[in-house]
Amino acid sequence: MAAGPSAVAAPDVANLPVATANPGLPASVIAGLPPIVQKSHTKLSLESYIPGSPIVYPDGTPVPGQSKAALAKLDSIDAASGGLARFSGNWCMTAYAIAGGGWSPPSVCPVAVWGSPGWSYPYSWARIEHGESTGCLQGRGWTVVSGGGGTIVPLWRGIGCGIQSGGAVSWGNVLGNPAVIAKSSVALMGFAANWT
């Protein structure tokens, strides 16, 4: 087993609380999580979480026990933002919608957020500087399927239209990478927005 943030040997992974909360989650994904996450009953799936993503708490603080590679990714994102990412907790990026009015593919944050029961992700966004179009964004959250054995499914909710807006989307006790989709309000123009 490759050295990483986990002190748990591969055969023991199946007995960890995060493994019992997420049946079918590959052992390699569980082994790569920080020990504090491994010992929790948080929900995650390969749809919600990009393995190897740095993990932060809802306030943007890095979760302890991560690999040096994950922490280096946080440093790289922070450096690219001129130091604002770590200061503001804004680890995300820009969403782009092409002209024509359809929804864009998801713009996925390279940093995962470890939520808690009842928590909602507070998305905010603003049109890029020098943009001329208006648009709408939807943010991805999560909901647990009732009677589905605790399976989580994505929940897309509108987080506003115009040149700047935001909104909270249900997240809960999920480890996942935030994501948005965007749509231009002007059929003949594209739209781009920075989001967190």
Give the pLDDT confidence score for residue 152 in this predicted structure: 87
Per-residue pLDDT reduced to its tens digit, 3-35: 455 555 555 898 999 999 998 899 999 999 999
| pTM (two decimals) | 0.86
H or E element that contains 69: helix 68-80
- The residue among 101, 92, 91 whose CA lies nearest residue 182 is 101
Per-residue pLDDT reduced to its tens digit, 37-95: 999 999 998 888 999 999 999 888 899 999 998 888 888 877 776 665 665 556 678 89
- The residue among 82, 25, 69, 74 whose CA lies nearest residue 48 is 25
Distances (CA, A) of 172 to 43, 55, 153: 9, 15, 12
CB 163 within 8 A of CB 195: no
Q: For the chain, what is the radius of gyration of the CA atoms?
A: 18
